[in-house]
Structure 1
């Protein structure tokens, strides 16, 4: 028996006294394995190419949660966008570890539509260093799988109660506040030295609530300022401690500030317009109390607004005229300012498509 580059082969020995003749014979199983290996090698580039079209739809395929507290709400959104003419269907998503739960926000995407794969870190049931692979399965227009990777470290010595700052629904101008208790078990000299946030609409007050041995507790009051702008809040606070190596601990902040004003239609659709043509629309602005419209403006030329800045009422109709100067797509934001203050500025998105005017060549008289 000899070993060849393709596996184990048998050698038939020549009878004694005859000319040496050897014949290497491959068993049938070896031949089948060799053929299968060759097929896999030949198909590997095609399979990789097939997966690549799906991977291109994702902005990122990995995320590091960092060091987080036990019980904290920790999630990350992997955004994908359909870049193709065909409709995309996401059949499902699975996780390799119970430490991360995946969810698909939209499973069917037309061209340019977007969806999120939401990865939620299970900080209540798991501790320590954890990682997971999320496999997204697409079954239309072609089958493909995309793998997303997440990892992080869940601290067992720090607990948030509740696991996030949740303001809920807040009327614009009203402000709000909520409380979170931070508990620590470990070093007797542990303390929170700072709380940071990039959101200027948030204020934080923190007080030590108790210290006994290695158990330390803080009460944290988080306030949403009255001047907070309308819209969704999806932010985080960063607690800084004297831990050194793992001194930063994130805390999620969520909520929604309801605008004191509503505007319709939203968005404002101008439709298809020829160069030089005019389009007229009416913008409806409503408030809970009477107000004045101070000004209306856009960042694109060609818009004209008929504003009655003297009338104070709860409902305003604002006539708008748009004259198309050049061809191309239009994507503009119309800003409506009122006398209710700087925080009560309404931004209305508008879109349309300006078509070039086709000029036909004059034809001479037929002979």
Structure 2
């Protein structure tokens, strides 16, 4: 019995020695370093020779023998699952750790957010003569993490021109945008605006301003006339002084002209020959109701300022206030198109009135008059044709007023301008399919459709 036990112990020791002596799996292999270890089993010889009465001792011996094997294999497996490169090549691990961070940084620059910053968006050029030009360069800087793209640069008027170095800015890059304003014909405080549009999500547009005062060699004071609201036909009068502000500049006012406002007349008076003139502007006769805006052209014999523009405006209140004073209809070539509109009629020069009847120029137009308070009416016009059938026509309001028994509300037909094709640009003709192309199309998509058979190219899917 002792011999048998010794044989069992020797067999177990041999098994452990044999297992420990096996070559270790290489951790540098390209294939997965560790595969699940095969379950350890007791030696077949031990199982065959074990007696029934000795099963407990055999089990204990087997557990003692197998435990070191499982521990050794488990240790090998854990070492293979951990990053082998980090243990054997520390430098490679450091490079691997740095690589993702560098890639993320590149992505932040390429797909980041641009941010436009203008250190000085307003330039004050002070006081300058009207014979000079204002030139300034604004600095544009990208303080974001993405590429800044300038999509549009627009000046507020034709007297201002711009020049852009480039339209793309990398992060932390800055450029200059030049702006030039011609001050000829200007006077007094001036503000010129240049609008810059970019792909900055927070500030898609930025306004660059040039402000200052223009000293005109020939000045106009005031530079505009506004008669305000007029509720009667009594004459109104205003005076404009045109004078030289420079000792060596002399001039003569040759003429003044105002078109489209026949109810306004003017007179030129000499204050000081060659130096100062007064322009008297006054209304005359019956004034047509509505808003009136015009520009008077004043011509001189001086090269310093040969043409002077003078704005004139006034609002004439009629016997009744009608809003809108004109019925605007958008022209449509499609037959049968109609539109509707609502008007408000309230007291003007006359505070008390009554509308007796509304007369439409066409029988198909429906006019519905609804009282809306004291001496206030709402007029609903429906079924008005969007054609030239209402050209030079008007709605007639018949009232109880002796001086104004009929009041007209004119129509205005607004036609949309169709853009013309630039010279030399021909319309694109439809693509014609050759018989071979039609056959290829038939084989690919089945029978040719009627549209394809006529020669149109099929749409790409």
Q: Which category of TM-score, normalised to the shorter sequence, fits these structures?
A: 0.3 to 0.5
Q: Which has the higher contact order (CA 8 A, sep 6+)?
A: 1
The structure with the largest strand share of the pair is 1
With structure 2 as the length reference, what TM-score do the two structures score?
Answer: 0.36
Which protein has the larger Cα radius of gyration, Structure 1 or Structure 2? 2
Using the size of structure 1 for normalisation, the TM-score is 0.43
